[in-house]
Amino acid sequence: MSDPFLIGAAMTGGYGATDILHDCTIAVEKGQIAVIVGPNGAGKSTAMKAVFGMLNLRGGSVRLNGEDITKLSPQDRVARGMAFVPQTHNIFTSMTVEENLEMGAFLRRDDIKATLEQVYHLFPILKTKRHQPAGELSGGQRQQVAVGRALMTQPQVLMLDEPTAGVSPIVMDELFDRIIEVARSGISILMVEQNARQALNIADKGYVLVQGANRYTDTGAALLADPDVRRSFLGG
């Protein structure tokens, strides 16, 4: 079996002396949605940051499209087609919505108008608010700006760290719909989520992490159907 499009294989490492991740594997196929769920402190965000190169791995590797990128800096990974939306501080609050999107496309030297229109098509509210400072928008709209900024690089992989943290259930559903739409356009999505049930609902692949290690790995639907997973992580 060939490698998935993006894989963090057998990753071991942490921020300081102690390891947070233990032999943890996360992968996503082209145009699919992979979701990382698990209890608080399970190392979900850490696993995502490890894939993006934001912490040093003691073991394991990260491969994108068959190429080993373990040693690349996050900035270099952006240039290779990976985009990351942090959980917090993920927009330029003092800049307008449009400037946020322009900054997302900073590395590009070609015409960004088409991509800008695509983002506005995906998030129509951003077009009407494009000259407003992003810091004045609501929580859900800010998340849209954050995702839009990441999409401006025309990434192959979009990584989202708890995109629905702090937004209302209606906005969450809306955001998930948009994420599915992004995946359908051929962009792979790797996402960490607190709202495990809803996230697994839209996931092609789900990873349940516990204490920095893989506990269950299966399709989203299979995990939702698994009585053990339901009992332990989805509240029955």
Partner 1 sequence: MDLLNALVAFLNFVVIPAASYGAQLAVGALGVTLIFGILRFSNFAWGDTMAFGTMAVILLTWLFQSLGISIAPLPTALLALPFAILITSALLLGTDRVVYRFYRKQKAKPIILVIVSAGVMFVMNGLVRIIIGTQEQNFADGGRFLISAGDFKAWTGLAEGLAIKGTTAVTLVTALLTMAALFWFLQKTRTGKSMRAFSDNEDLALLSGINPDRVVQVTWVIAAALAVIAGTLYGLDKSFRPFIYFSLLLPIFAAAVVGGLGSPMGAVAGGFVVAFSEIIVTYAWKKVITYVVPQSWAPDSLMQLLSTDYKFAVSFSILIIVLLFMPNGLFNKGK
Smallest distance from the beta carbon of 199 to partner 1, in angstroms? 23
Q: Does 180 bind partner 1 (CB under 8 A)?
A: no
Distance of CA 185 to CAs 142, 188, 189, Å?
22, 9, 11
Query: Which one of residues 41, 71, 103, 184 is an interface residue with partner 1 (CB under 8 A)?
Result: 103
Q: Does 107 bind partner 1 (CB under 8 A)?
A: yes
d(Cα 164, Cα 2) in Å, to the nearest integer? 32
Q: Does 90 bind partner 1 (CB under 8 A)?
A: yes
Residue partners of 111: CB distance under 8 A and separation at least 6: none
Residue partners of 55: CB distance under 8 A and separation at least 6: 13, 14, 15, 46, 49
**Nearer to partner 1 by C-beta: 37 or 78?**
78
**Residue 140 near residue 175 (C-beta atoms within 8 A):** yes
Q: Does 99 bind partner 1 (CB under 8 A)?
A: yes
Q: Does 139 bind partner 1 (CB under 8 A)?
A: no
Question: Tokens 């394991």 — which residue?
Answer: 60
**Nearer to partner 1 by C-beta: 73 or 168?**
73
Q: Does 104 bind partner 1 (CB under 8 A)?
A: yes
Q: Binding segment for partner 1 among 7-15, 79-87, 122-130, 180-188 (CB under 8 A)?
A: 79-87
Nearest of 78, 59, 61 to residue 69 by alpha carbon: 61
Q: Does 153 bind partner 1 (CB under 8 A)?
A: yes
**Nearer to partner 1 by C-beta: 88 or 168?**
88
**Nearer to partner 1 by C-beta: 29 or 102?**
102
Q: Does 89 bind partner 1 (CB under 8 A)?
A: yes
Nearest of 178, 141, 149, 11 to residue 84 by alpha carbon: 149
Other C-beta atoms closer than 10 Å to the C-beta of 182 total 22
**141 secondary structure, DSSP code:** H
Q: Does 205 bind partner 1 (CB under 8 A)?
A: no
21 pairs with which residues across the strands? 13
Other C-beta atoms closer than 10 Å to the C-beta of 184 total 10
Q: Binding segment for partner 1 among 3-11, 77-85, 160-168, 219-227 (CB under 8 A)?
A: 77-85
Q: Does 35 bind partner 1 (CB under 8 A)?
A: no
d(Cα 122, Cα 134) in Å, to the nearest integer? 17
Q: Does 219 bind partner 1 (CB under 8 A)?
A: no
List residues binding partner 1 (CB under 8 A).
Answer: 74-75, 78-79, 84, 86, 89-95, 99, 102-104, 106-107, 149, 153
